Structure 1
Amino acid sequence: MSVYLYRWGAFAFRRKWIVLPLWLLGLSILGILAGALREPMSNDFGIPNLPSERANQILDQHFPGMSASFQFDAVTGTYVIAAPDGQRLTDPANRAAVTALIDKLNGLDIVDHGKPLADPITTAESMNCLAGDRAASAYISRCSGAPLNVLNRTEPDSVAVLTVPFAIKEFTDVTADDRKAAYDVADEARGAGLRVELSGTIAMEQQQPSGKAEMIGMGVALVVMIVAFGAIVAAFVPIITAIVGLGAAMSVIFIGTSVLSIPSFTTFLASMIGIALSIDYALFIVSRYKHELAVRDSAEEAAGTALATAGSAVVFAGLTVIIALVGLSIVGIRFLTFMGLGGAVAAAFAVLTAVTLMPALLGAFGRNLFRPKLPGIAQHDPEDDTSVTNGMRFARLIGRVPVLTLLLSVAILALLAAPAAGMNLGLPGEDSMPKSTTVRKAYELRTAGFGEGSNGKLMVAVDLSKVAPERRTAALTALRDKLTAYQGMDYVTEPTMSQDGAGALLNGVPKTGPNNQDTKNLVRDARDAESALRAEYGMEYGITGTTAIYADVDHALLSKIVPYLAIVAGAAFILLILVFRSILVPLTAALGFLLSMAATFGATVLIFQDGKFGIIAEPRPIVSFLPIMLIGLVFGLAMDYQVFLVTRMREEYVHGQSPTDAMINGYHHGARVVTSAAIIMISVFGSFLLESDVTAKSMGFALAAGVAFDAFLVRMVLIPSLLVLMGKRAWWIPRWLDRALPDIDVEGAKLRELREKSATPVP
């Protein structure tokens, strides 16, 4: 590979005014096609084959149309209405304000008027829930499903819920004007003294990438590269390749929307991956080019050699990222599959621009790329073998006391990993919205009036078609008694029968919120009880609703982590054997990643779940899809740093250095570029801590922490320590395997052999 990349690098450098216009033409064509073919992206984050789908099947069979409200892209809306402090909604003035609100909603054009809205106070009255002994079991049984909080002991009749069907078909069709109209329709009621807040998807804004993280990442990257190169012009070249690579990747994704329904979140991950990897890969090649300029006779020769060595490492580093991202498709979750594929497209273009566009840009600037040098910056050049850098000093320290540095790095990672044992997963719901939003205020009003579990009711859809008609009442009573008996259940409403008499609906209200582990355990126990009831009565049932779906998603994602990690790590292990011609180096690379992941999970749990250090005001479960996304993204980046740093060490070893000296010299050359790349990534990911959304904060922190732990503790301390301790054994490979594997020559040994055989450069 090194010889082919050398030839291309020298050609692109020499024929820069052919390569650069061709890239500009190709990017323009992709942009024009994207503009012409682009279709709206979807917001369908559904997961197939969840246990909660059984309930939807029963609903479709006996309650046609009802299951539509449980689709991920459904437009839902519930008004939570609260009386002024110390008053009741049944007071005449407040009741009149509620009636006036319903009249306004009945006249709102975005509301589905197929069925008149029911006044929650009138409904409670018709259920005979405004009078009687509210402590009596018969009253509680009858009124547990009332839309007015009649069972509240401290402030009864003070909060009501009004579920409104909207005529908008999909969440992506909701406009800002629709959200404003849905909220403003209650202004008159608010003026009358009521608190009216709106929950559901009608009140949620569609999350679009703000571009803030990308801008911060670009800014930090520019500063870091100015420091790394000691020159301003050189710092801008990786920015150019990042813009071109990201533009091409985004164009391909937008073209794909013409034939596929692509989730909107795909572009978010692709932009993050595209910018970070493009800059990282360009940084690596430009750093090597700077070194080769000092030792080669011509800039063309330097560009070819830089691409032959650093470019080879970039190709295989990019392949590990692509494997990790494409591997997300094995999870079987559509939105994760497309996010992974979008990221893989961005990674592919990052590699493509690095090995095809970069040498042409180097040719355009030539030796002037690093002129003028900035005084006082990067005085000690890591590409100068005679210079003693901080990286060399630290590598020498590792070489002297490898056992100590190994034990210290493992101890720190283990200490950070300890809190991960108590990790609790959940999905971002209404309770994770900023406190200033109407959705969050509605959640809190409903919690105060009906209990926290009312925000995540369990809808139990019962199929009685196989139950004898005379036994259906007994079957439903047995089911209701069973559900009520669970310790985590607050109450269960009386069943609502379907028109055909063969179906029924019950609502179970847990004592805890949708993301609480006790609630998820309740869902599991309630489902486990079906087999006994089916055996006795012939009844079947399914459980759906926010809480059940959250529990199902958690289980679906957790069950895929181990096979995903095994497949991705296995594929990358084989790839790294090709790169390093070693068994132990890829093995230690994978084991080191497990340590960095455990430390990352522990730190994230400590801050976002346990609420330490005051970074977030409200601790909450870790978002369910974070672990698997974190593994995919950080694994690819970790292998990038492994390839960047250790290929230089192998190159020194192949060229005759002892294992310890090879580690020190490779560290000397590679530490600055790995440090710079890691700082850029940490800055891009860490900028998401500035967002108001807790989910974005936790994802940004976890990704930044994962990169920091893996780059600075694993790749730059643990792995070099192991290489010293293993000595020549680190580079051992069975002879039969060495002969069987193709020689990809990342370190450029074949290029050196060709130079030694010929006095002239390779044509």
Structure 2
Amino acid sequence: MAKLLFRLGRWSYNRKWIVISAWLLILAIVGGLALTMQKGFSNSFTIEDTPSIDATVSLVENFPDQTNPVTAAGVNVVFQAPEGKTLDDPEMMAAIDAVVDHIETNLEDFGGGERFGNPVEVSPQLEETVIEQMTSMGLPEETAIKDADNLKVLSDDKTIGYTTFNIDVPNPESVEESHRDTINEALEIGRDMGIRVEAGGAAFGDPIEIKTTSEIIGIVVAFIVLVFTFGSLIAAGLPLITAIIGVGIGALAIVLTTAFTDLNNVTPVLAVMIGLAVGIDYALFILSRYRAEYKRMPRADAAGMAVGTAGSAVVFAGATVIIALIALAIADIGFLTAMGFAAAFTVFVSVLIALTFIPALLGVLGSRAFKGKIVGIGGNPTPKQTWEQALNRRSKGRTWVKFVQKVPGLVVAVVVLGLGALSAPVLNLEMSLPSDSTSNLDTTQRQSADLMAEGFGAGVNAPFLVVVDAHEVNADATALAPLIDAQDTGEADFDRDQAARFATYMYVTQTYNSNVDVKNAQIISVNEDYTAAQILVSPFTGPADQETTELLHVLRTQEAQIEDVTGATVGTTGLTAVQQDITDQLESAMPVYLAVVVGLAIFLLILVFRSIMVPLVAGLGFLLSVGAAFGATILVWQEGLWGLVNTPAPLISFMPIFLIGVTFGLAMDYQVFLVTRMREHYTHHQGKGVPNSKYTPVEQSVIEGFAQGSRVVTAAALIMIAVFIAFIDQPLPFIKVFGFALAMGVFFDAFFVRMALVPASMFLMGRATWWMPRWLDRILPSLDVEGTALEKEWEEKQATR
């Protein structure tokens, strides 16, 4: 592969204008198609084949005339009276009426709803209707009163009330900015009249807004790091140019993909974040190698050699990132698979750009590639130094690795114990999907959810909708007999089968009401032929509380018991259930995915380094860095350490598995780029040491390889950290968390694992570092990632000239 890449790099250098024109043409074509064909992104995180989705299907089949509650574009508008007043005061009533009237009159696609209106007037009417309906169906009056109280929209002290309505669009993603503007106008009308008004609900979430400042900040910091790396303003700009073009093509291709399939709106954000980071880093590695090679060979050959050596490592590193991202399909969750494939495609483009566009730009610049030099940095001499003195200046990397060589056991202990301790908070990991209850505290969505929880209990934000299909109910079921007999009035036309169906609905509510975490379970709808019912289960706790999660699992266990006893089919759905099913599926997939990526890492590194111990250490280091990144993220964003974030909340459900995949890929990047230099030195000297050296051959290879590779790996890590951490500036909480978590993953992996644990463990293992069983060495294919054979061939050709 190294020889093929050498020819590609040399060809790109010599055919520079063809390469540059081709990439710019691809960018223009993809951009044009994306702008004309794209259909936009969605806000949904739904998946197929889960219990909640199955229950939703049953709901739609049995209640075809009703709106699907899972896809309904619902809005909650919550009112709170000022201190000392109640909502039934005349001025408060007038303010509420003004808000309600503005929505009903001006909102395009207004869909209304049973609980829409002034809550002071709607609540008693609603309660009276519920009591009448429930008692007419045979429920005891005491039960009917309790059910009515659970559906009230006015708090007992009359200080908080809410109204709900639907926007008549297919789903919440179809809500337009004009809809939100009208609702916001209504909120301001109420506020101007002296009442507090907040709004939330599935149809009133903030649209995804991406601030371009994150990319700009990341690029500016990357430019500064590159200037210090190369000591040249021109060279520092080259990786940025290639990364921007690569990310542009990748992001536009993702936008174009929306013409053919639904993509979540987080998809391009993560692809841009990862693509920009790896795009800069891969170009940096190749450019750094070119800088070392052009001093001893013609520039075209130097470009080919840089692509053949560092480019081989780029291909391998990029492949590991791509495989890790594609492997997210293991979770079998559609939106997560799409995110993985989108990010993987962007990384793929970044690799191709680095391999071809960088040598093409070098061909254009020629001897000017490293102009704009800044004295005293990037290997440039100070005014008092000669070039020879600058080159011989002792590097910080060499100083550090020699320190590690003196106390390797201490370094290993500090890293393992330190990162291990930081991983402890993982035991407290909580996960959820975005909702009003987890939004930032200063948003109207979060304040509406908090007000509803204050007035009606936290469970009002986390209802479960149970669908009971009683087509196949067993009328002779022992458990139903008392409830059936209670309906038998002795009349000749008594329908026992229908009575059995209604008895089933009552049996379900009684069973669910027996749970201590259930505030109330009640029948809210029965279809025309009495063959199916909807049961609302209101918990005491909110959607992000662990007790709500545990309650859902209890309900699912009871579902199976009810089905066995009655013969009916029972399922639980609703937004809370749908989101929890996604979270549960992600949790169950994480151990499998982690085992796959760690096993893959060890196997690939065995192929590259022809060693058993190096891959094992790399795998251990990966686990430590991921654990520490998780721990730090949980401490700051979930537990609210030191008040660094204003809204601590459970982590978004797909963040952990995505963090594992990305950190794995990036960890392999640094492992390859650092250790290949060590392996290159060891094989170049055929495992023999330098005469009269106080270091063993393994120690020499580690020191020399680290001294050559640490500078560029450090620069690459700093760039990635800057790109990721800049996304904390984004408005949406889960994007902030992603940026922070990925930055921490890179920080711990690059500076603690690759820069400390890896060399220290090599010093401790000695010759065992490069040991590999002969039988395994024979059967595994040889991958010359270091480009040793390529360099040898080039040197032989030069010797014959």
Residues 591, 122 of structure 1: CA spacing in aligned structure 2 closer, same or farther, 3 A cutoff?
A: same
State the alpha-carbon separation in 2 of the partners of residues 24 and 535 from structure 1.
Answer: 64
Aligned residue in 1 for 2:665: 636
State the alpha-carbon separation in 1 of the partners of residues 67 and 538 from structure 2.
Answer: 19
State the alpha-carbon separation in 1 of the partners of residues 371 and 189 from structure 2.
Answer: 68
Deviates more, 1:390-399 or 1:160-169: 160-169
Q: Do structure 1's residue 562 and structure 2's residue 568 form an aligned pair?
A: no
Residues 471, 171 of structure 1: CA spacing in aligned structure 2 closer, same or farther, 3 A cutoff?
A: closer
SS of structure 2 residue aligned to 1:512 = coil
Aligned residue in 1 for 2:532: 503
- Whether contact under 8 Å (1:380, 1:389) holds in the other structure is no
SS of structure 1 residue aligned to 2:375 = coil
Q: Do structure 1's residue 492 and structure 2's residue 521 form an aligned pair?
A: yes
One of 439, 445, 448 as aligned partner of 2:445:
439
- How does the TM-score come out when normalised to structure 1? 0.92
Question: How big is each residue's C-alpha offset from its partner over 1:224-282, in whole Å with a ceiling of 9 and x where there is no partner?
Answer: 00001111111011111112212222343344333333333222122112211110011
Alpha-carbon deviation of 1:739? 2.9
Aligned residue in 1 for 2:153: 148
Q: Which amino acid aligns with 2:124?
A: E
Aligned residue in 1 for 2:332: 332
- Whether contact under 8 Å (1:59, 1:67) holds in the other structure is no
- Whether contact under 8 Å (2:586, 2:657) holds in the other structure is yes
Aligned residue in 2 for 1:126: 125
Aligned residue in 1 for 2:749: 710
- How does the TM-score come out when normalised to structure 2? 0.88
- Whether contact under 8 Å (1:102, 1:117) holds in the other structure is no
Residues 16, 188 of structure 1: CA spacing in aligned structure 2 closer, same or farther, 3 A cutoff?
A: closer
Q: Which amino acid aligns with 2:154?
A: N
Aligned residue in 2 for 1:75: 73
Cα RMSD for the two superposed structures: 2.7
Residues 499, 638 of structure 1: CA spacing in aligned structure 2 closer, same or farther, 3 A cutoff?
A: same
Residues 40, 761 of structure 1: CA spacing in aligned structure 2 closer, same or farther, 3 A cutoff?
A: farther
Aligned residue in 2 for 1:625: 654
Deviates more, 1:375-384 or 1:653-662: 375-384
State the alpha-carbon separation in 1 of the partners of residues 596 and 2 from structure 2.
Answer: 28
SS of structure 1 residue aligned to 2:681 = helix
Alpha-carbon deviation of 1:408? 0.9
SS of structure 1 residue aligned to 2:74 = coil
Deviates more, 1:52-61 or 1:334-343: 52-61
- Whether contact under 8 Å (2:602, 2:616) holds in the other structure is yes
State the alpha-carbon separation in 2 of the partners of residues 100 and 299 from structure 1.
Answer: 75
Residues 701, 140 of structure 1: CA spacing in aligned structure 2 closer, same or farther, 3 A cutoff?
A: farther
SS of structure 2 residue aligned to 1:745 = coil
State the alpha-carbon separation in 1 of the partners of residues 659 and 799 from structure 2.
Answer: 48
Deviates more, 1:720-729 or 1:688-697: 688-697
Residues 92, 301 of structure 1: CA spacing in aligned structure 2 closer, same or farther, 3 A cutoff?
A: closer
Alpha-carbon deviation of 1:96? 5.3
Residues 612, 759 of structure 1: CA spacing in aligned structure 2 closer, same or farther, 3 A cutoff?
A: closer
State the alpha-carbon separation in 2 of the partners of residues 534 and 20 from structure 1.
Answer: 66
Q: Do structure 1's residue 422 and structure 2's residue 461 form an aligned pair?
A: no
Q: How does 1:27-106 map to 2 (within 5 A)?
A: 27-66=27-66, 68-71=68-71, 74-91=72-89, 94-95=92-93, 97-99=95-97, 101-106=99-104
SS of structure 1 residue aligned to 2:449 = helix
State the alpha-carbon separation in 1 of the partners of residues 313 and 787 from structure 2.
Answer: 10
- Whether contact under 8 Å (1:289, 1:302) holds in the other structure is yes
Residues 140, 662 of structure 1: CA spacing in aligned structure 2 closer, same or farther, 3 A cutoff?
A: farther
Q: Which amino acid aligns with 2:357?
A: L
State the alpha-carbon separation in 1 of the partners of residues 357 and 236 from structure 2.
Answer: 16
Alpha-carbon deviation of 1:333? 1.4
Q: Do structure 1's residue 589 and structure 2's residue 589 form an aligned pair?
A: no
One of 670, 689, 696 as aligned partner of 2:728:
689
Aligned residue in 1 for 2:108: 110
SS of structure 1 residue aligned to 2:263 = coil
One of 441, 452, 462 as aligned partner of 2:468:
462
Residues 422, 26 of structure 1: CA spacing in aligned structure 2 closer, same or farther, 3 A cutoff?
A: closer
State the alpha-carbon separation in 2 of the partners of residues 726 and 592 from structure 1.
Answer: 16
Aligned residue in 1 for 2:160: 159
Aligned residue in 1 for 2:760: 721
- Whether contact under 8 Å (1:380, 1:388) holds in the other structure is no
Question: How big is each residue's C-alpha offset from its partner over 1:657-683, in whole Å with a ceiling of 9 and x where there is no partner?
Answer: 511111111110111111111111111
State the alpha-carbon separation in 2 of the partners of residues 10 and 761 from structure 1.
Answer: 21
SS of structure 2 residue aligned to 1:52 = helix
Residues 554, 741 of structure 1: CA spacing in aligned structure 2 closer, same or farther, 3 A cutoff?
A: same
SS of structure 2 residue aligned to 1:754 = helix
State the alpha-carbon separation in 1 of the partners of residues 365 and 120 from structure 2.
Answer: 76
Q: Which amino acid aligns with 2:617?
A: T
Question: How big is each residue's C-alpha offset from its partner over 1:183-222, in whole Å with a ceiling of 9 and x where there is no partner?
Answer: 3235444444433322113322221322222111100100
State the alpha-carbon separation in 2 of the partners of residues 595 and 331 from structure 1.
Answer: 23
- Whether contact under 8 Å (1:172, 1:206) holds in the other structure is no
Deviates more, 1:565-574 or 1:114-123: 114-123
SS of structure 1 residue aligned to 2:409 = helix
State the alpha-carbon separation in 2 of the partners of residues 113 and 274 from structure 1.
Answer: 42
Q: Which amino acid aligns with 1:527?
A: R
State the alpha-carbon separation in 2 of the partners of residues 88 and 446 from structure 1.
Answer: 16
- Whether contact under 8 Å (2:81, 2:196) holds in the other structure is yes
Residues 641, 107 of structure 1: CA spacing in aligned structure 2 closer, same or farther, 3 A cutoff?
A: same
One of 732, 735, 740 as aligned partner of 1:701:
740
Q: Which amino acid aligns with 2:293?
A: E
State the alpha-carbon separation in 1 of the partners of residues 84 and 368 from structure 2.
Answer: 77
Q: Do structure 1's residue 480 and structure 2's residue 481 form an aligned pair?
A: no
State the alpha-carbon separation in 2 of the partners of residues 84 and 496 from structure 1.
Answer: 36
State the alpha-carbon separation in 2 of the partners of residues 185 and 276 from structure 1.
Answer: 43
Q: Do structure 1's residue 259 and structure 2's residue 260 form an aligned pair?
A: yes
Alpha-carbon deviation of 1:576? 2.4
State the alpha-carbon separation in 1 of the partners of residues 783 and 44 from structure 2.
Answer: 42
State the alpha-carbon separation in 1 of the partners of residues 500 and 114 from structure 2.
Answer: 34
SS of structure 1 residue aligned to 2:166 = coil
Aligned residue in 2 for 1:223: 224
- Whether contact under 8 Å (1:593, 1:638) holds in the other structure is yes
Q: Which amino acid aligns with 1:420?
A: V
Alpha-carbon deviation of 1:597? 0.9
- Whether contact under 8 Å (2:53, 2:573) holds in the other structure is yes
Question: How big is each residue's C-alpha offset from its partner over 1:572-603, in whole Å with a ceiling of 9 and x where there is no partner?
Answer: 43332222222322222122111111111111
Q: Do structure 1's residue 646 and structure 2's residue 675 form an aligned pair?
A: yes
Alpha-carbon deviation of 1:743? 2.6
How high is the sequence identity, in percent, across the aligned residues? Answer: 39
Question: How big is each residue's C-alpha offset from its partner over 1:388-408, in whole Å with a ceiling of 9 and x where there is no partner?
Answer: 201001111112221111111
- Whether contact under 8 Å (1:124, 1:130) holds in the other structure is no
Residues 88, 140 of structure 1: CA spacing in aligned structure 2 closer, same or farther, 3 A cutoff?
A: farther
State the alpha-carbon separation in 1 of the partners of residues 468 and 370 from structure 2.
Answer: 73
Deviates more, 1:14-23 or 1:362-371: 14-23
Alpha-carbon deviation of 1:325? 0.9
State the alpha-carbon separation in 2 of the partners of residues 290 and 128 from structure 1.
Answer: 79
Alpha-carbon deviation of 1:109? 4.4
State the alpha-carbon separation in 2 of the partners of residues 723 and 447 from structure 1.
Answer: 57
Deviates more, 1:351-360 or 1:738-747: 738-747
SS of structure 2 residue aligned to 1:499 = coil
State the alpha-carbon separation in 1 of the partners of residues 277 and 249 from structure 2.
Answer: 15
Aligned residue in 2 for 1:519: 548
SS of structure 1 residue aligned to 2:572 = strand
Unaligned stretches of 5+ residues in structure 1: none
- Whether contact under 8 Å (2:324, 2:664) holds in the other structure is yes
- Whether contact under 8 Å (1:13, 1:361) holds in the other structure is yes
- Whether contact under 8 Å (2:441, 2:647) holds in the other structure is no
Alpha-carbon deviation of 1:341? 1.0
Q: How does 1:350-429 map to 2 (within 5 A)?
A: 350-379=350-379, 386-429=392-435
Alpha-carbon deviation of 1:447? 1.2
SS of structure 1 residue aligned to 2:69 = helix
State the alpha-carbon separation in 2 of the partners of residues 756 and 458 from structure 1.
Answer: 72
State the alpha-carbon separation in 2 of the partners of residues 428 and 712 from structure 1.
Answer: 33
- Whether contact under 8 Å (1:515, 1:547) holds in the other structure is no
State the alpha-carbon separation in 2 of the partners of residues 26 and 189 from structure 1.
Answer: 52
